[in-house]
Amino acid sequence: MPAPVILDGRIVRLEPLAPHHVPGLVAAAAALDGQAGFTIVPHGEQEARTYVFQAEAAQLAGTALAFAILTSADDCVVGATRFTRLDYWQGPLTWPLSAEPVSALPGGAIPDAVEIGNTWLVPAVRGGQVNLESKLLLLTHAFESWAVRRVSLRADARNQRSRTAIERLGAVCDGVRRAHSRGLDGAVRDTAFYSILHDEWCGVRARIAEQLAARAAVGPAPLIPATAAALRPLVYPHR
């Protein structure tokens, strides 16, 4: 499993999800007034603690690396995201195939392909610079630090907002898998799958940078006016 890392941007900072983020997660989730449509969001302190515990367990198991999304200006937690479905390829294959079992991955092993998902944001920052820069930080780390060959993204086929956001990045739709799984609302859902390949990364990076520059020229959007007071007083003892 790759080592946890803090990803710093101009607008946001992604920190590996940890217990000290619980108060911020609770405050951010309260701004949603319910689930984030198609993504699990922890409401209340107990759910937030369980959410963090499960994220840390997934990291130890080597199946995910979860982040809290914080604003760089005032350390407000405005959502969460993660690397998930880390894929370690065993190629190139040789013949004859070895009968020996595949050994455990060494500490610090990096994936060949990965998925970005489980992302949720407070309403006031959706569709703007926060999501764009968060994705840019994750994609840059995946392609330039890990040198992955593919980054995947997926969305409930009914979730047009998420699908539009993914397509805006420059990701290619690989297709829609029908009756893929059960959604949070209990309905059997179709899932739209997207990907960005290593050879496409330069173009995608330039595209995201252009969108960030265009939004910055318009000016910063206000940060959750109704809940800013609840979000700002977060003091992290490790700093």
What pTM value is reported for the model? 0.85
Over residues 4-31, the mean pLDDT reads: 95
Determine the distance from the C-alpha atom of residue 175 to the mean position of all C-alpha atoms in its chain, rounded to a whole number. Answer: 21
Smallest Cα–Cα separation from 51: which of 59, 61, 41, 37? 41
| Confidence at 94, pLDDT banded by 50, 70, 90 | low
| Residue pointed to by tokens 């922890």 | 42
| Euclidean distance between CA atoms 148 and 146, whole angstroms | 5
Provide the pLDDT confidence category of residue 181 given band limits of 50, 70 and 90. Answer: confident
* CA distances, 162 to each of 16, 139, 142, 191 (Å): 23, 17, 20, 12
Least confident range from 122-131, 144-153, 164-173, 224-233: namely 224-233
Please check the confidence at residue 74 and state whether its pLDDT lies above 60. Answer: yes
146: left (phi over 0), alpha (psi -120 to 50) or beta: alpha
- pLDDT tens digits for 131-143? 999 999 999 999 9
Higher pLDDT, 60 or 225: 60
Q: What does the domain layout of the chain look like in residue ranges?
A: 7-88+110-231
- DSSP-derived letter for residue 175 is E
Fold of 7-88+110-231: Aminopeptidase (3.40.630)
Residue type, 22: V
Count CB neighbours of 59 within 10 A.
Answer: 20
Residue among 201, 219, 126 at smallest CA distance from 164: 126
Phi, psi dihedrals of residue 81, rounded to the nearest 5°: -160, 175
Q: What is the share, in percent, of the chain residues with pLDDT greater than 90? A: 62
List pLDDT tens digits, range 182-223.
877 778 989 999 999 999 999 999 999 999 999 888 765 544
Under 8 Å between Cβ of 68 and 25: yes
